[in-house]
């Protein structure tokens, strides 16, 4: 980057002053600067909202402490669908009755992928890319072994991600389901969900999207795109807290076709009937298995209301600004030291994190964590800069990337 380009680029202070979402940062808990100087890992775990502490305290003393078992009849039985509908409305572009909350992401992926395979008689192939997150790949390997299915692997470029043409020659009349991440965990590549879903449907297969890195960071239109099934976590951009439960979306047109494999009493037609055999509930309740984690659902409710107050379009606009700024700083400060930016430069193909590669970044990350600068590291050489639009300032990005530069210089 030339001196003239640097001069033309707005400073962090100018960007923060012009940021229409700047005031939202005050809603989040922030430790003292000596504990945390720059948090660049919002794509792994979102910061807690200040109001969440008070709301959890109220839940313990009122909903739980005062109502006790009566809470199930009064509210909690409906909580997985009620919260699911709010996730659908605010972040997924999904009408009511298509989203439920519960289980871990891994368990939810297993249930949904297994149900999709079983719903496609005569089709025994699952398609996934080799660079997908390990959980997705491992679960598919397990399901393939259980069901006698085979896996077709997409060998996409990790930096550019899976495109529609990467499915050419793989889709066919034996394809049961295609499983892809909407945003690649490594590079931040944002896939064409609508186009790929249409292509998968042309082959008669089902499409399942992993939304872990996109829900709450980019606008989604699952109903409009005709998505069959989607799964996502809630501890990243929905700020549900460590280990907060995952959600599943099942298009209303698909719900009667799918039978999830882990039959539990809460997904039964009559949970309190104590019946001799299992009959699934109607609609999204059939995808619930055990007692829902009601307490763990509470923090994400606060974040959903904050997102709803500003709108996903505003969140996306800030995300684009943040990643553009992080890339510009990385080009200026890190590339001259031998680093390589491996995330898409086209904003239409990039989520809310970028990845920069360097052989020393594992050591750099460890060094930075000791100083309260928190990026993320993914082997073999990727340092991820994850930018949560509502809680991250441009000054924080500048401080963080500068610290990465300094740590890298010290180690070279």
Asked about 279 being catalytic, the answer comes back as no
* Options 28, 133, 249, 361, the catalytic residue: 133
Q: Answer whether 383's CB lies under 8 Å from 17's CB.
A: no
- Report whether 217 contacts 319 (CB < 8 A): yes
pLDDT at residue 3 is higher than 90: no
Least confident of 108-112, 158-162, 184-188: 158-162
Cα–Cα distances in Å, from 115 out to 86, 92, 173, 255, 304? Answer: 24, 21, 18, 10, 28
- Sheet of strand 382-386, all strands in order from the earlier edge strand to the far edge: 340-341, 353-357, 382-386, 376-378
Backbone angles phi, psi at 254, to 5 degrees: -105, -15
Catalytic: 185?
no
Q: What is the pLDDT of residue 153?
A: 98
Active site residue 363: no
Q: Is the pLDDT of residue 347 over 60?
A: yes
pLDDT in tens, 165-190: 999 999 999 999 999 999 999 999 99
Distance CA 82, CA 217 (A): 21
Under 8 Å between Cβ of 227 and 209: yes
User: Does the annotation mark 235 as catalytic?
Assistant: yes
CB 41 within 8 A of CB 213: no
Please give the C-alpha separations between residue 233 and each of 64, 154, 172, 214, in angstroms, as whole numbers: 25, 24, 30, 10
In DSSP terms, 378 is beta-bridged to 382
Give percent of the chain with pLDDT exceeding 90. 95
Q: How confident is the model at residue 4 (pLDDT cuts 50, 70, 90)?
A: very low
**In the predicted structure, residue 5 carries a pLDDT above the cut 80:** no
Q: Quick check: 2 pLDDT over 80? A: no
pTM score of the predicted model: 0.96
Point out the catalytic residue in the list 28, 39, 185, 235: 235
Question: Catalytic: 39?
Answer: no
- pLDDT score at 9: 81
236, 285, 286, 350: the catalytic one is 236
Q: Out of 27-36, 59-68, 401-410, which region has the weakest mean confidence (pLDDT)?
A: 27-36
- Mean predicted confidence (pLDDT) in 367-387: 95
List pLDDT tens digits, range 356-369. 999 999 999 999 99
Rounded Cα distance, 244 and 339, in Å: 34
**Is residue 332 classed exposed, middle or buried when 0-12, 13-18 and 19+ CB atoms within 10 A define those classes?**
middle
> Rounded to whole angstroms, how far apart are CA atoms 342 and 354?
8
pLDDT > 70: percent of the chain: 98
Catalytic residue among 19, 210, 228, 302: 210
* The pLDDT value given to residue 313: 98
The whole-angstrom separation of Cα 229 and Cα 250 is: 5
| Catalytic option among 114, 123, 384, 405 | 384
């Amino acid at each position: 980057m030339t001196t003239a380009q640097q001069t033309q680029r707005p400073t962090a202070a100018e960007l923060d002053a012009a940021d229409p979402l700047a005031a939202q940062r005050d809603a989040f808990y922030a430790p003292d600067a000596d504990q945390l100087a720059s948090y660049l890992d919002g794509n792994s775990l979102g910061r807690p909202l200040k109001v969440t502490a008070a709301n959890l305290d109220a839940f313990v003393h009122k909903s739980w402490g005062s109502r006790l078992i009566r809470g199930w009849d009064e509210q909690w039985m409906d909580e997985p669908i009620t919260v699911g509908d709010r996730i659908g409305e605010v972040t997924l572009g999904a009408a009511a009755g298509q989203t439920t909350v519960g289980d871990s992401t891994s368990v939810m992926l297993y249930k949904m992928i297994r149900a999709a395979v079983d719903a496609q008689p005569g089709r025994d192939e699952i398609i996934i890319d080799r660079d997908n997150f390990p959980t997705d790949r491992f679960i598919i390997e397990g399901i393939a072994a259980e069901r006698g299915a085979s896996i077709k692997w997409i060998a996409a470029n990790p930096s550019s991600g899976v495109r529609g043409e990467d499915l050419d020659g793989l889709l066919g009349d034996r394809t049961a389901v295609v499983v892809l991440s909407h945003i690649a965990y490594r590079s931040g590549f944002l896939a064409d969900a609508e186009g790929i879903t249409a292509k998968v449907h042309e082959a008669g297969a089902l499409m399942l999207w992993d939304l872990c890195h996109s829900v709450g960071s980019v606008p989604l239109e699952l109903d409009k795109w005709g998505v069959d099934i989607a799964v996502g976590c809630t501890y990243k951009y929905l700020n549900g807290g460590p280990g907060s439960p995952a959600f599943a979306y099942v298009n209303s047109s698909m719900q009667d076709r799918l039978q999830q494999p882990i039959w539990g009493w809460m997904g039964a037609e009559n949970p309190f009937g104590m019946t001799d055999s299992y009959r699934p509930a109607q609609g999204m309740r059939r995808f619930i298995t055990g007692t829902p984690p009601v307490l763990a659902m509470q923090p994400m409710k606060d974040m959903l209301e904050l997102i709803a107050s500003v709108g996903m379009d505003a969140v996306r606009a800030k995300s684009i600004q943040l990643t553009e700024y992080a890339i510009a700083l990385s080009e200026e400060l890190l590339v001259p030291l031998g680093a390589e930016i491996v995330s898409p430069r086209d904003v239409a193909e990039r989520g809310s994190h970028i990845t920069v590669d360097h052989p020393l970044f594992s050591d750099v990350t460890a060094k930075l964590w000791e100083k309260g600068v928190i990026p993320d590291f993914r082997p073999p050489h990727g340092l991820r800069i994850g930018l949560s639009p509502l809680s991250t300032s441009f000054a924080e990005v500048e401080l963080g990337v500068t610290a990465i530069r300094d740590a890298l210089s010290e180690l070279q």
